[in-house]
Structure 1
Amino acid sequence: MRVEKLRTAGGPTISWRAIECWGAGISIFLQAGAFLPLILADADGALSESAKSILRLPCFPVYVFTIIILIRNFPQFLLALKRNLIVPMILVMPFLSTLWSIDATTSLRRAIALLFCMLLSYVLAIRFTPRQLLFLLFVTFGGCIFLSVVMSVVSPSLASMPDGAMRGVFIHKNVLGWYACLMILVATAVLMDGTLGLRRTAFVLLAAGIICLSSSGSMTAIIATSAAFCLIGFYSLLQRSSSIGRVVIVLFFVQLAIGILISLHEFLVPALEALGKDATLTGRVPLWELVDREITARWMLGYGYQAFWTIDNPEATHMWFMLGWAAPHAHNGYRDILLSFGVMGMVPFVLMLLHAIHQGAVLQCHDPQYGWLWLNVLTIMILVMNLTESFFLVQNDAIFILFTATIIMFSLYAPVVSVSRSRPLQAPSPGLTSGLQIS
């Protein structure tokens, strides 16, 4: 494949592939919210309106990069749209919700930002293979986590919350915990893969991720990390089993997951009270009770995309008064979808998830050498994280961008693997066939 290059005034040439790699890495770094929010925040970690305005500025270069890359790869972009129509359907929902939103201006502004973020997901999906994306995150998140450890040694006061918990280069300990969780998964995947030749670096970054995870004290991240290692075992076992064995394994793990969720719902709060721990999950339990009442009030269409959690909404301000703190979201991604779009939005979202989980499992079972294991684990891990946090359909958020990119990547490659399975005499190409090529 011919590699196009740009010639600078001084003579050196820069390939478009280098621009794609550096641009994607920088874009993920900026959307992760490292360094800059910490610098602009006050001593308590809060951001003023002027600081929030400044934080919007780095998003514009990301948007420009995204548009340029999609224009240059427009046929692949169209193919990605055609192979998963549910994703663009969900992308349209925030704009449609402005018709019934209680704050149409806010919904429209945030819908535009979400559009560009999901377009970046398409860039990652069509221009990077699973192993290339793994290396990109290994470098990007690895730098953030390693520098978090360094900052905790060089400047403990800046790298710590007022309560002493570690936050590293991020604005909050929970954010550090989320990305430490992702780093542990990525480093583990690099160690298991073995083809990147970065085992020593992976061991170092894995240790750094464990330090950051434990020092942050984020229970969401700790639970998600535990789930990730269970999922690694599940998908590895699934790939090695026969057809009938896979059915048995899936049924067993589905029943196990349902049993765990029911047990948590019934016994978690009494268990926490017996242990003398915070039975409200840092205020989440009373928050969810109030949120559920608001969801039932407008269960069909919701309040409009991210229109509920605004100062101008009397229901939200009344909820904040009853709680004694201003919740920025429902601390549950599924509830936030219902608040924004109601059941009409939740149905296609669930269908998209089920379709993606099935496609990811098929790719892992029939094309494991391509590196699908970690993407399957990432998908379920983010679903687990959304039980107590809110990442779904959030604009300018690296975690949701990666989540959407994974779903798009599954839908791009799954038909290729299906064709190769139906034609055993034809070896599948290393990239995507049917018009999609990744250099």
Structure 2
Amino acid sequence: MTRTARPADSHQGSIARPTYLEARPHRLVYFDGIWVAFVMTAMLFEQLLRSGTALVLVAAVPVYFIVRPDRLPKAGLAVGVLGLLPAFALLSAFWSAVPQTTLYYGTEYLITVLIGIVIGVAVNANQALIGLFFAFSAHAIASMLIGGYALVGRVGSSEVELAFIGIMASKNQAADASGLGMLIASAVAAFGIAQRRYFLGLCALVVLGIDIWMVVRADSTGALLAAVFAAFAMIAMQAGRVLTMQARTLLFVTITTTLTLAFALRTFWFDAVMGSILESAGKDATLTGRTFIWDQASRMIDANPAFGLGYNAFWNVGNPDAELIWKFAGIAEKRGFNFHNTAIEILVHLGYVGFTLFAAVAGALAMLLAIRVTRRPEAFGTFAVAYLFFMGIRTPVESYGFNPFSYATALIFAILSYALRSEHRRQAAKPR
């Protein structure tokens, strides 16, 4: 008498369970967003974590590619292009006034750039945006609950004012982080509404309100205006999704031409507009002492025009020029300071050769990013262009993309590398 095989015993009737390796991607579906939130939170909370931030960031890139080894090839092109900038910073150790310091901070700068590249080209774009939102939401809530105020003096005057600094080292850092938080919250609110994730959109609006309050309390008119203008630009790009490709291209060409002409003719309007803004905001014409700092920087640029002093070779205890600026600005800790101008910061440390390299790479990728977003106005892409707009307004009075272990540096390299992100292509279904 023959026995009939049970369905479970036959190959046709059995249902194969996925192996551990096959099921692994599903278990880690939210890993990208968690990773972005983790590294950005570590940078935002650097004042509280201190050396803990360095430990997190040094381990961040290896951990990501251990978990996502298939994403490693995607970073190749971006590392080859954007890696030129930290490579030149490290190379400056050969002529640096303090080679050991240049190598130390140049290595930190390289790690920060790599983190940005991972966010821009390897991480899922929507998860990257949500991860940024959680990090900046944690910063906003912590700043509101445990953040503090500081007495800020007007340089060259006995007047002082109470300004909100949150959990940052200065009111400028607090205003910049909160302004960026406004932009991220606006992007997530629009994303949540578009995706019908209304609770996420509501949370983003709440955080947006907190960030606006913090920027106002930090007494930074520039950060508030830059964030508002950038948010309007992002909303316009999101609204442009309903337009045809030809209409978006025409809009892009019009905006680009207008901005180019405005920049070329800035000598005719910039001083008048800036003076009006400063007067209405009750600010002094020296931009709180920045003009004195820029005069000192100009002298150092003239002394080392080609290659500069070397990466991070100026802000060192014992350097008489740095000591003079710290004393003038009342910086007791002698750390976390800069020239409050991105171009001047690069010129002092890396000279005209370094500045040309930075400007060429950043300018080319910014244009490529704008073209990409014009073709495909996705959520992260429109936010990226809006942040470029935010930085473009702020770079004359703040230093961006040059500081190691900085959330701003990592995010700048993330959005620039996003321009090199490979397009998602649908693969043909394989036969069973």
Which category of TM-score, normalised to the shorter sequence, fits these structures? 0.7 to 0.9
Q: Distance in 2 between matches of 1:412 and 1:113?
A: 24
**Which of the two has higher C-alpha Rg?**
2
Distance 1:145 1:4, change over 3 A: farther
Contact kept, 8 Å, 1:187 with 1:205, in 2: the verdict is yes
Distance 1:371 1:33, change over 3 A: closer
**Deviation, structure 1 residue 381:** 1.4
* Alignment match, 1:394: 403
State the one-letter code of the partner of 2:85: I
**Deviation, structure 1 residue 342:** 0.8
Contact kept, 8 Å, 1:305 with 1:341, in 2: the verdict is yes
Contact kept, 8 Å, 1:270 with 1:279, in 2: the verdict is no
Aligned residues: 390
The correspondence of residues 88-127 of structure 1 with structure 2, limited to 5 A, is: 88-127=83-122
The correspondence of residues 27-176 of structure 1 with structure 2, limited to 5 A, is: 27-33=39-45, 36=48, 55-71=50-66, 73=68, 76-83=71-78, 85-151=80-146, 159-162=148-151, 163-176=161-174
Q: Distance in 2 between matches of 1:73 and 1:275?
A: 49
Distance 1:411 1:127, change over 3 A: closer
**Deviation, structure 1 residue 71:** 4.8
* Alignment match, 1:228: 230
* Alignment match, 2:206: 204
Contact kept, 8 Å, 1:170 with 1:176, in 2: the verdict is yes
Contact kept, 8 Å, 2:95 with 2:309, in 1: the verdict is yes
**Deviation, structure 1 residue 127:** 3.5
Contact kept, 8 Å, 2:79 with 2:117, in 1: the verdict is no
Could you tell which deviates more after superposition, 305-314 or 221-230? 221-230
Contact kept, 8 Å, 2:72 with 2:122, in 1: the verdict is no
TM superposition score normalised by structure 1: 0.78
The correspondence of residues 176-325 of structure 1 with structure 2, limited to 5 A, is: 176-193=174-191, 194=193, 195=195, 196-197=197-198, 198-232=200-234, 235=237, 240=243, 241=247, 243-259=249-265, 262-265=268-271, 268-269=274-275, 272=278, 277-320=283-326
* Alignment match, 2:9: none
Distance 1:171 1:287, change over 3 A: closer
Could you tell which deviates more after superposition, 161-170 or 285-294? 161-170
Q: Secondary structure at the match of 1:160?
A: strand
State the one-letter code of the partner of 1:173: K
Task: Point out where structure 1 has 5 or more consecutive residues left out of the alignment.
Answer: 8-12, 38-54, 152-157, 418-427, 434-439
1:30-57, Cα deviation, whole Å (9 max, x unpaired): 11136616xxxxxxxxxxxxxxxxx124
TM superposition score normalised by structure 2: 0.80
Q: Distance in 1 between matches of 2:325 and 2:163?
A: 28
**Deviation, structure 1 residue 247:** 2.2
Contact kept, 8 Å, 1:304 with 1:341, in 2: the verdict is yes
Identity across matched positions, percent: 20
Q: Secondary structure at the match of 2:314?
A: coil
State the one-letter code of the partner of 1:164: L
- TM-align CA RMSD: 3.2
Q: Secondary structure at the match of 2:150?
A: coil
Q: Distance in 1 between matches of 2:26 and 2:253?
A: 50
Q: Distance in 2 between matches of 1:201 and 1:321?
A: 43
1:303-349, Cα deviation, whole Å (9 max, x unpaired): 00010121233333355567776692211121111111111111121
Q: Secondary structure at the match of 1:167?
A: strand
Could you tell which deviates more after superposition, 253-262 or 166-175? 253-262
Q: Distance in 1 between matches of 2:54 and 2:375?
A: 38
Distance 1:306 1:261, change over 3 A: farther
1:189-241, Cα deviation, whole Å (9 max, x unpaired): 12222224312112211111111111111234223213313432664577642
Q: Secondary structure at the match of 2:420?
A: helix
